[in-house]
Structure 1
């Protein structure tokens, strides 16, 4: 049964899902101020910082402000993917290169038995999560619909201003979304339509890449929404 205005094709479902997530995210980000944007809810939080104040070894960005990034590792929830890569015939060296870790680390993961230890991941600020999304989608656009030549880590000029970050973020997201909406069925099935270098996008049909991009947007925006709730609760608990 067809319902007027409701799409059930692959692209329609993905676009509708993204549009709804974007609408909810924009509502939830209304009124975001700089203090809340940069609030560090726990010691050792990752954030957007001046280059000289970065607390992580691989912080990056083209300008004065950089995005915290730690040493590369493979999270526990990706151990199964590493095993899949090995089973598919990838060499340990290639897997290590793919994840930017040592050969020894890959061998350790492949030899692991039982449940993996929980990941010890840093708490990140709203600024970090929004900047991470901006960086991810800027790179996804450049290496799918753009010239496919610019270094993704140089595409986004990070900022300590919440309003400036959002003014830059939404137009990029809308440009990416409009380019996605113009895809053909053939392009959705094309392996390697995206050549984004900081992922394995090039190994999958683009429909799968889009589904992953939606998940990336939704889960980080949900985290941002929770941080906003915690920020408000913090002030309520302090009696302010």
Structure 2
């Protein structure tokens, strides 16, 4: 195991990836699209999606609702403001109004739990896929393609996994070549959704690992629930 910053992040990512691949073995189409409760977010045929901002370049789109800042992210918004980011820039990063950011910054007392939709395995994989594909494009690629148009979502679980692991492996290979100077470079990633352009790249990598781990944990739980459904 590496003890330098990049080595630790890569080792963590590799461990999470290995466990995730084992947990995803045998995923079938029905389980991949399973909606355990009503009103789940998933992938749907274009024209059948009911969410406000469903997106994708092909026949299938990924559900996405109206933009907001969930309570679990209030501390992150406060950090952005404390670091000197303007309210207008925070609002742009979160795709919300300035008034909404001001409400979040004015909040006091306990933060209520998030009330977010339950999402299917297909949604969670699609979310990770376009995030890592876009992350590669805006850090190591041409920095021009919209991440939301880079992944052709599919109801075929095997095909989705094949494409997903290819994107993950390309990201991992590129990250392995990052220098110490690049780790500390603010804006090394220009990913257009979120705060990447304002963060050192080491923070972006840390956040990417966290995103991968927590969504794969959710997928693992959904697989367990699928096995015991009914």
Place the TM-score, normalised by the shorter chain, in its bin: over 0.9
Question: Aligned-pair distance for 1:121?
Answer: 0.2
Aligned: 1:131 with 2:115: no
2-structure distance, mates of 1:44, 1:34: 19
Cross-structure match for 1:101: 96
Cross-structure match for 2:80: 85
Q: Give CA-to-partner distance per residue, 1:16-42, whole Å, 9 cap, x none.
A: 111111111111101000000000011
TM-score (norm 2): 0.96
2-structure distance, mates of 1:210, 1:122: 26
Question: Aligned-pair distance for 1:81?
Answer: 2.3
Aligned: 1:210 with 2:201: no
Cross-structure match for 2:178: 183
Cross-structure match for 1:161: 156
2-structure distance, mates of 1:217, 1:162: 18
Unaligned runs of 5+ in 1: 1-5
Tell me, what secondary structure is at the counterpart of 1:140?
Answer: helix
Cross-structure match for 1:61: 56
Alignment length (residue pairs): 230
Tell me, what secondary structure is at the counterpart of 1:70?
Answer: coil
Question: Aligned-pair distance for 1:70?
Answer: 0.2
CA gap 1:187/1:86 in 2 versus in 1, 3 angstroms: closer
2-structure distance, mates of 1:142, 1:87: 29
Question: Aligned-pair distance for 1:95?
Answer: 2.2
Tell me, what secondary structure is at the counterpart of 2:44?
Answer: strand
Question: Aligned-pair distance for 1:92?
Answer: 2.7
1-structure distance, mates of 2:93, 2:13: 28
Unaligned runs of 5+ in 2: none
Cross-structure match for 1:111: 106
Cross-structure match for 2:145: 150
Question: Aligned-pair distance for 1:89?
Answer: 3.8
Task: After superposing the two structures, state which structure 1 stretch, 106-115 or 22-31, moved more.
Answer: 106-115
**Which has the larger Rg?**
1
Question: Aligned-pair distance for 1:107?
Answer: 2.1
Q: What is the root-mean-square deviation in Å for CA atoms of aligned residues?
A: 1.2
Tell me, what secondary structure is at the counterpart of 1:165?
Answer: helix
Task: After superposing the two structures, state which structure 1 stretch, 144-153 or 99-108, moved more.
Answer: 99-108
TM-score (norm 1): 0.92
